[in-house]
Copies of this chain bind each other. A is one copy, B any other.
Amino acid sequence: MVTTVRLAVIPGDGIGPEVVGEALKSLEAATAGSGVVFEQTHFSLGAARYLETGDTLTDDDLAAITGHDAILLGAVGGVPGDPRLAGANIERGLLLKLRFELDHYVNLRPSVLYPGVASPLADPGDVDFVVVREGTEGPYVGNGGAIRVGTPAEVANEVSVNTAYGIERVVRYAFAAASARPKKKLTLVHKTNVLVFAGSLWKRLVDAVAAEYPEVAVDYLHVDAATIFLVTDPARFDVIVTDNLFGDILTDLAGAISGGIGLAASGNINPDGTFPSMFEPVHGSAPDIAGKGIADPTAAILSVALLLDHLGHAAAADRVRDAVAADIAERGDARRSTSEIGDAIAARIGA
Protein backbone atom coordinates (compact mmCIF):
# COMPACT_ATOMS: atom_id res chain seq x y z
CA MET A 1 0.00 0.00 0.00
CA VAL A 2 1.29 3.41 -0.95
CA THR A 3 0.34 6.59 0.90
CA THR A 4 0.83 9.77 -1.06
CA VAL A 5 1.60 12.94 0.84
CA ARG A 6 1.08 16.14 -1.12
CA LEU A 7 3.97 18.32 -0.03
CA ALA A 8 4.09 22.03 -0.82
CA VAL A 9 7.70 23.14 -1.01
CA ILE A 10 8.54 26.83 -0.62
CA PRO A 11 12.31 27.11 -1.07
CA GLY A 12 12.20 30.91 -0.79
CA ASP A 13 15.15 33.26 -0.96
CA GLY A 14 18.85 33.27 -0.23
CA ILE A 15 20.03 30.04 1.32
CA GLY A 16 16.42 28.77 1.45
CA PRO A 17 16.61 26.74 -1.78
CA GLU A 18 20.02 25.36 -0.81
CA VAL A 19 18.95 24.01 2.57
CA VAL A 20 15.57 22.79 1.30
CA GLY A 21 17.34 20.73 -1.35
CA GLU A 22 19.30 18.92 1.33
CA ALA A 23 16.25 18.55 3.57
CA LEU A 24 14.38 16.82 0.76
CA LYS A 25 17.23 14.30 0.41
CA SER A 26 16.79 13.36 4.06
CA LEU A 27 13.03 13.16 3.63
CA GLU A 28 13.48 10.71 0.76
CA ALA A 29 16.04 8.66 2.65
CA ALA A 30 13.90 8.47 5.78
CA THR A 31 10.81 7.24 3.93
CA ALA A 32 12.34 5.12 1.17
CA GLY A 33 10.59 1.77 0.99
CA SER A 34 8.09 2.75 3.67
CA GLY A 35 5.15 3.05 1.35
CA VAL A 36 4.96 6.82 1.91
CA VAL A 37 5.53 8.85 -1.21
CA PHE A 38 5.91 12.61 -1.24
CA GLU A 39 4.37 14.31 -4.23
CA GLN A 40 6.02 17.72 -4.32
CA THR A 41 4.72 21.02 -5.66
CA HIS A 42 7.30 23.79 -5.62
CA PHE A 43 6.07 27.33 -5.03
CA SER A 44 8.16 30.27 -6.05
CA LEU A 45 7.48 32.74 -3.24
CA GLY A 46 9.53 35.31 -1.40
CA ALA A 47 11.51 38.44 -2.13
CA ALA A 48 12.68 37.22 -5.55
CA ARG A 49 9.13 36.56 -6.67
CA TYR A 50 7.98 39.90 -5.25
CA LEU A 51 10.70 41.75 -7.18
CA GLU A 52 9.67 39.96 -10.36
CA THR A 53 5.90 40.19 -10.15
CA GLY A 54 5.01 42.47 -7.25
CA ASP A 55 3.12 39.61 -5.59
CA THR A 56 3.82 38.31 -2.10
CA LEU A 57 1.10 35.69 -1.68
CA THR A 58 -1.91 35.76 -3.98
CA ASP A 59 -5.25 34.18 -3.20
CA ASP A 60 -4.45 31.57 -5.83
CA ASP A 61 -1.13 30.78 -4.17
CA LEU A 62 -2.85 30.41 -0.85
CA ALA A 63 -5.60 28.19 -2.24
CA ALA A 64 -3.06 25.98 -4.01
CA ILE A 65 -0.91 25.62 -0.89
CA THR A 66 -3.97 24.87 1.24
CA GLY A 67 -4.69 21.89 -0.99
CA HIS A 68 -1.56 20.14 0.27
CA ASP A 69 -0.97 17.89 3.27
CA ALA A 70 2.11 19.68 4.59
CA ILE A 71 4.51 22.49 3.74
CA LEU A 72 8.29 22.62 3.82
CA LEU A 73 9.69 26.16 3.77
CA GLY A 74 13.32 27.23 3.45
CA ALA A 75 13.60 30.90 4.27
CA VAL A 76 12.15 34.10 2.86
CA GLY A 77 13.47 37.63 2.75
CA GLY A 78 15.64 39.75 0.49
CA VAL A 79 18.85 41.65 1.08
CA PRO A 80 18.37 43.94 4.12
CA GLY A 81 18.11 47.55 3.00
CA ASP A 82 17.31 46.68 -0.63
CA PRO A 83 15.42 49.85 -1.63
CA ARG A 84 13.18 47.89 -3.99
CA LEU A 85 11.83 45.99 -0.98
CA ALA A 86 11.25 49.12 1.13
CA GLY A 87 7.50 49.02 0.56
CA ALA A 88 7.22 45.26 0.98
CA ASN A 89 6.99 43.32 4.21
CA ILE A 90 7.69 39.80 3.02
CA GLU A 91 7.65 38.51 6.61
CA ARG A 92 4.15 39.79 7.30
CA GLY A 93 2.77 39.27 3.81
CA LEU A 94 4.06 35.75 3.35
CA LEU A 95 5.34 34.00 6.47
CA LEU A 96 2.91 35.46 9.00
CA LYS A 97 0.07 35.37 6.50
CA LEU A 98 0.58 31.63 6.04
CA ARG A 99 0.74 31.07 9.80
CA PHE A 100 -2.48 33.01 10.35
CA GLU A 101 -4.47 31.82 7.33
CA LEU A 102 -3.54 28.20 7.97
CA ASP A 103 -4.31 28.57 11.68
CA HIS A 104 -0.88 27.42 12.81
CA TYR A 105 -1.68 27.93 16.43
CA VAL A 106 1.22 25.85 17.68
CA ASN A 107 4.68 27.09 16.82
CA LEU A 108 6.84 24.21 18.03
CA ARG A 109 10.51 24.90 18.60
CA PRO A 110 12.66 22.25 20.26
CA SER A 111 16.07 23.12 21.71
CA VAL A 112 18.51 20.28 22.12
CA LEU A 113 22.21 20.71 22.69
CA TYR A 114 23.60 17.76 20.75
CA PRO A 115 26.81 16.20 22.04
CA GLY A 116 29.70 17.76 20.20
CA VAL A 117 27.99 21.11 19.63
CA ALA A 118 29.65 24.17 21.13
CA SER A 119 27.39 26.42 23.20
CA PRO A 120 28.28 30.02 24.02
CA LEU A 121 27.54 29.04 27.63
CA ALA A 122 30.48 27.90 29.73
CA ASP A 123 28.45 25.19 31.45
CA PRO A 124 25.17 24.67 29.62
CA GLY A 125 24.26 21.36 31.27
CA ASP A 126 21.65 19.10 29.71
CA VAL A 127 19.71 21.32 27.30
CA ASP A 128 16.60 19.54 26.06
CA PHE A 129 13.41 21.53 26.06
CA VAL A 130 10.72 22.61 23.68
CA VAL A 131 9.01 25.95 23.34
CA VAL A 132 5.33 25.81 22.44
CA ARG A 133 4.79 29.30 21.09
CA GLU A 134 1.27 30.49 20.36
CA GLY A 135 1.13 31.32 16.65
CA THR A 136 -2.08 33.14 15.83
CA GLU A 137 -2.64 35.83 18.48
CA GLY A 138 -0.90 38.28 20.77
CA PRO A 139 0.96 41.28 19.43
CA TYR A 140 1.27 39.51 16.05
CA VAL A 141 -2.35 40.05 15.00
CA GLY A 142 -1.57 43.22 13.08
CA ASN A 143 -4.23 45.23 14.90
CA GLY A 144 -2.18 48.39 15.17
CA GLY A 145 -2.54 51.84 13.75
CA ALA A 146 -1.15 55.32 13.80
CA ILE A 147 -2.45 58.87 13.67
CA ARG A 148 -0.77 62.14 12.66
CA VAL A 149 1.95 60.12 10.97
CA GLY A 150 5.10 62.07 10.32
CA THR A 151 4.21 64.90 12.71
CA PRO A 152 5.54 65.54 16.22
CA ALA A 153 2.10 64.52 17.47
CA GLU A 154 2.20 61.03 15.97
CA VAL A 155 0.74 58.21 18.06
CA ALA A 156 1.31 54.59 17.04
CA ASN A 157 -0.60 51.84 18.81
CA GLU A 158 -0.13 48.10 18.69
CA VAL A 159 -2.87 45.88 20.05
CA SER A 160 -2.16 42.46 21.47
CA VAL A 161 -5.31 40.35 21.16
CA ASN A 162 -5.60 37.29 23.36
CA THR A 163 -8.59 34.96 23.53
CA ALA A 164 -9.58 32.11 25.77
CA TYR A 165 -10.28 30.14 22.59
CA GLY A 166 -6.81 30.72 21.23
CA ILE A 167 -4.89 30.27 24.45
CA GLU A 168 -6.71 27.20 25.75
CA ARG A 169 -5.96 25.17 22.64
CA VAL A 170 -2.23 25.88 22.67
CA VAL A 171 -2.07 25.33 26.43
CA ARG A 172 -3.75 21.94 25.95
CA TYR A 173 -1.21 21.03 23.30
CA ALA A 174 1.63 22.05 25.62
CA PHE A 175 0.30 19.99 28.53
CA ALA A 176 -0.09 16.94 26.29
CA ALA A 177 3.49 17.43 25.11
CA ALA A 178 4.77 17.79 28.68
CA SER A 179 2.87 14.73 29.81
CA ALA A 180 4.51 12.67 27.06
CA ARG A 181 8.05 13.75 27.99
CA PRO A 182 10.17 12.16 30.73
CA LYS A 183 10.50 15.32 32.86
CA LYS A 184 6.78 16.21 32.69
CA LYS A 185 7.31 19.86 33.50
CA LEU A 186 5.59 22.89 32.03
CA THR A 187 6.66 26.50 32.48
CA LEU A 188 4.34 29.31 31.56
CA VAL A 189 6.27 32.41 30.51
CA HIS A 190 4.49 35.74 30.41
CA LYS A 191 4.63 39.17 32.03
CA THR A 192 1.58 38.94 34.26
CA ASN A 193 2.65 41.80 36.53
CA VAL A 194 2.54 44.29 33.67
CA LEU A 195 0.29 42.81 30.97
CA VAL A 196 -2.34 42.12 33.58
CA PHE A 197 -5.33 41.32 31.35
CA ALA A 198 -3.58 38.98 28.93
CA GLY A 199 -1.43 37.62 31.74
CA SER A 200 -4.39 36.82 33.91
CA LEU A 201 -6.10 34.97 31.07
CA TRP A 202 -2.99 32.88 30.32
CA LYS A 203 -2.53 32.13 34.02
CA ARG A 204 -6.12 31.07 34.60
CA LEU A 205 -6.19 28.81 31.56
CA VAL A 206 -2.91 27.15 32.51
CA ASP A 207 -4.25 26.58 36.02
CA ALA A 208 -7.50 25.15 34.63
CA VAL A 209 -5.83 22.72 32.23
CA ALA A 210 -3.21 21.80 34.86
CA ALA A 211 -5.99 20.24 36.92
CA GLU A 212 -6.42 17.64 34.15
CA TYR A 213 -2.70 16.81 34.14
CA PRO A 214 -1.79 16.12 37.78
CA GLU A 215 1.39 14.36 36.63
CA VAL A 216 2.76 17.57 35.06
CA ALA A 217 4.65 19.96 37.36
CA VAL A 218 3.77 23.56 36.52
CA ASP A 219 5.65 26.73 37.17
CA TYR A 220 5.60 30.32 36.03
CA LEU A 221 8.31 32.80 35.05
CA HIS A 222 8.16 36.40 33.95
CA VAL A 223 9.69 36.68 30.49
CA ASP A 224 12.59 38.78 31.76
CA ALA A 225 13.47 36.19 34.39
CA ALA A 226 13.12 33.41 31.80
CA THR A 227 15.96 34.92 29.77
CA ILE A 228 18.16 34.78 32.87
CA PHE A 229 17.46 31.09 33.43
CA LEU A 230 18.04 30.33 29.75
CA VAL A 231 21.66 31.39 30.20
CA THR A 232 22.25 30.32 33.81
CA ASP A 233 20.29 27.06 34.06
CA PRO A 234 18.67 26.00 30.77
CA ALA A 235 18.41 22.43 32.07
CA ARG A 236 15.56 23.60 34.31
CA PHE A 237 13.25 23.80 31.30
CA ASP A 238 11.20 21.01 29.75
CA VAL A 239 8.14 22.48 28.00
CA ILE A 240 7.72 26.25 27.85
CA VAL A 241 4.35 27.60 26.79
CA THR A 242 4.16 31.26 25.93
CA ASP A 243 2.65 33.91 23.73
CA ASN A 244 3.62 34.73 20.18
CA LEU A 245 6.06 37.58 20.85
CA PHE A 246 7.67 36.15 23.97
CA GLY A 247 8.04 32.88 22.09
CA ASP A 248 9.74 34.66 19.20
CA ILE A 249 12.29 36.20 21.57
CA LEU A 250 12.87 33.13 23.73
CA THR A 251 13.36 30.76 20.81
CA ASP A 252 16.10 32.84 19.21
CA LEU A 253 17.87 32.90 22.57
CA ALA A 254 17.21 29.19 23.01
CA GLY A 255 18.64 28.53 19.55
CA ALA A 256 21.73 30.55 20.36
CA ILE A 257 22.52 28.68 23.57
CA SER A 258 21.99 25.30 21.95
CA GLY A 259 24.48 25.78 19.18
CA GLY A 260 23.10 28.53 17.03
CA ILE A 261 20.03 28.97 14.89
CA GLY A 262 21.86 26.98 12.20
CA LEU A 263 20.54 23.99 14.12
CA ALA A 264 17.11 25.23 15.20
CA ALA A 265 14.06 23.61 13.60
CA SER A 266 10.46 24.63 13.87
CA GLY A 267 6.97 23.48 13.08
CA ASN A 268 4.02 25.77 12.48
CA ILE A 269 1.34 23.31 13.36
CA ASN A 270 -2.41 23.13 12.98
CA PRO A 271 -3.02 20.17 15.26
CA ASP A 272 -6.64 19.79 14.14
CA GLY A 273 -5.53 18.98 10.61
CA THR A 274 -7.94 21.52 9.14
CA PHE A 275 -5.02 23.12 7.32
CA PRO A 276 -1.58 21.89 6.30
CA SER A 277 1.17 22.44 8.84
CA MET A 278 4.40 24.13 7.82
CA PHE A 279 7.94 23.21 8.78
CA GLU A 280 10.88 25.57 8.51
CA PRO A 281 14.29 26.25 9.97
CA VAL A 282 14.26 29.16 12.44
CA HIS A 283 17.06 30.92 10.56
CA GLY A 284 16.52 33.47 7.82
CA SER A 285 17.54 33.65 4.18
CA ALA A 286 21.10 34.88 4.98
CA PRO A 287 21.63 36.65 1.66
CA ASP A 288 25.25 37.33 2.60
CA ILE A 289 26.19 33.66 2.26
CA ALA A 290 23.63 32.65 -0.36
CA GLY A 291 24.84 30.87 -3.47
CA LYS A 292 28.13 29.89 -1.92
CA GLY A 293 27.09 26.41 -0.90
CA ILE A 294 28.26 26.95 2.67
CA ALA A 295 24.94 27.21 4.53
CA ASP A 296 24.37 24.56 7.17
CA PRO A 297 21.27 22.56 6.14
CA THR A 298 20.92 20.89 9.55
CA ALA A 299 18.07 23.09 10.81
CA ALA A 300 16.10 22.38 7.62
CA ILE A 301 16.79 18.65 7.98
CA LEU A 302 15.64 18.70 11.60
CA SER A 303 12.50 20.49 10.43
CA VAL A 304 11.86 17.45 8.22
CA ALA A 305 11.96 15.33 11.39
CA LEU A 306 9.21 17.52 12.87
CA LEU A 307 7.24 17.13 9.63
CA LEU A 308 7.54 13.34 9.86
CA ASP A 309 6.48 13.44 13.52
CA HIS A 310 3.45 15.47 12.57
CA LEU A 311 2.46 13.05 9.81
CA GLY A 312 2.65 10.17 12.26
CA HIS A 313 5.96 8.69 11.09
CA ALA A 314 7.74 8.81 14.43
CA ALA A 315 10.26 6.10 13.57
CA ALA A 316 11.34 7.88 10.40
CA ALA A 317 11.58 11.15 12.35
CA ASP A 318 13.82 9.49 14.91
CA ARG A 319 16.04 8.13 12.14
CA VAL A 320 16.52 11.68 10.87
CA ARG A 321 17.35 13.00 14.34
CA ASP A 322 19.71 10.09 15.05
CA ALA A 323 21.54 10.68 11.77
CA VAL A 324 21.87 14.38 12.56
CA ALA A 325 23.17 13.63 16.05
CA ALA A 326 25.72 11.15 14.66
CA ASP A 327 26.81 13.59 11.96
CA ILE A 328 27.19 16.42 14.49
CA ALA A 329 29.16 14.21 16.88
CA GLU A 330 31.74 13.58 14.15
CA ARG A 331 31.74 17.06 12.64
CA GLY A 332 34.81 18.45 14.33
CA ASP A 333 36.19 21.58 12.76
CA ALA A 334 36.20 20.45 9.14
CA ARG A 335 34.32 22.91 6.92
CA ARG A 336 31.93 21.00 4.70
CA SER A 337 29.70 22.33 1.99
CA THR A 338 25.91 22.42 2.24
CA SER A 339 25.57 19.35 0.03
CA GLU A 340 28.37 17.47 1.76
CA ILE A 341 26.49 17.81 5.05
CA GLY A 342 23.18 17.00 3.39
CA ASP A 343 24.57 13.95 1.62
CA ALA A 344 26.30 12.69 4.75
CA ILE A 345 23.12 12.88 6.81
CA ALA A 346 20.96 11.35 4.09
CA ALA A 347 23.49 8.53 3.69
CA ARG A 348 23.38 7.82 7.42
CA ILE A 349 19.59 7.71 7.34
CA GLY A 350 19.68 5.25 4.49
CA ALA A 351 22.37 3.08 6.07
Binding site for B on A (CB under 8 A): 89, 91-92, 96, 119-123, 139-140, 142, 144-146, 148, 150-165, 168, 191, 193-198, 200-201, 204, 223-225, 227-228, 230-232, 245, 248-253, 255-257, 260-261
Q: Which residues of B contact A248 (CB under 8 A)?
A: 191, 194, 223-224
Flag if B231 contacts A255 (CB, 8 Å): no
A71–chain B nearest beta-carbon distance, Å: 20
Flag if A157 contacts B158 (CB, 8 Å): no
Q: Which residues of B contact A154 (CB under 8 A)?
A: 163-164, 201
Q: Which residue of B lies closest to A252 (CB)?
A: B224
Which residue of B92, B153, B191, B193 contacts A194 across the interface (Cβ within 8 Å)? Answer: B92
Q: Which residue of B lies closest to A90 (CB)?
A: B193
Which residue of B144, B162, B230 contacts A155 across the interface (Cβ within 8 Å)? Answer: B162
Q: Which residue of B lies closest to A122 (CB)?
A: B122
With A228-B252, A249-B224 already in contact, the answer to whether A91 and B257 are too (CB < 8 A) is no
With A156-B197, A158-B162, A194-B139 already in contact, the answer to whether A253 and B253 are too (CB < 8 A) is yes
Alpha-carbon gap, A94 to B298, bound state (A): 49
With A165-B153, A253-B228, A255-B228 already in contact, the answer to whether A158 and B195 are too (CB < 8 A) is yes
Q: Which residues of B contact A159 (CB under 8 A)?
A: 157-160
A310–chain B nearest beta-carbon distance, Å: 24
Flag if A92 contacts B196 (CB, 8 Å): yes
Flag if B89 contacts A145 (CB, 8 Å): no
Flag if B157 contacts A139 (CB, 8 Å): no
Flag if A160 contacts B158 (CB, 8 Å): yes
Q: Which residues of B contact A123 (CB under 8 A)?
A: 120
Flag if A89 contacts B164 (CB, 8 Å): no
17 more contacts with CB within 8 A, not counting A158-B159, A224-B249, are A92-B196, A119-B122, A120-B121, A120-B231, A121-B231, A139-B158, A140-B194, A144-B195, A157-B159, A157-B162, A158-B197, A227-B249, A228-B261, A231-B256, A231-B257, A232-B256, A249-B249
Which residue of B121, B152, B161 contacts A157 across the interface (Cβ within 8 Å)? Answer: B161
Alpha-carbon gap, A161 to B157, bound state (A): 5
Which residue of B151, B152, B157, B165 contacts A197 across the interface (Cβ within 8 Å)? Answer: B157
Flag if A164 contacts B157 (CB, 8 Å): no
Q: Which residues of B contact A119 (CB under 8 A)?
A: 122
Q: Which residues of B contact A157 (CB under 8 A)?
A: 159-162, 197-198
Q: Which residues of B contact A228 (CB under 8 A)?
A: 252-253, 255-256, 261
Alpha-carbon gap, A158 to B195, bound state (A): 7
* 6 A-B pairs closest in CB distance: A224-B252, A227-B253, A156-B197, A144-B197, A154-B164, A122-B122
Can you identify 22 A-B contacts, CB atoms within 8 angstroms? A92-B193, A92-B196, A119-B122, A120-B231, A121-B231, A139-B195, A144-B196, A146-B200, A152-B164, A153-B165, A154-B164, A157-B162, A158-B198, A223-B248, A224-B251, A227-B249, A228-B256, A228-B261, A230-B253, A231-B231, A232-B256, A249-B249
Flag if B252 contacts A89 (CB, 8 Å): no
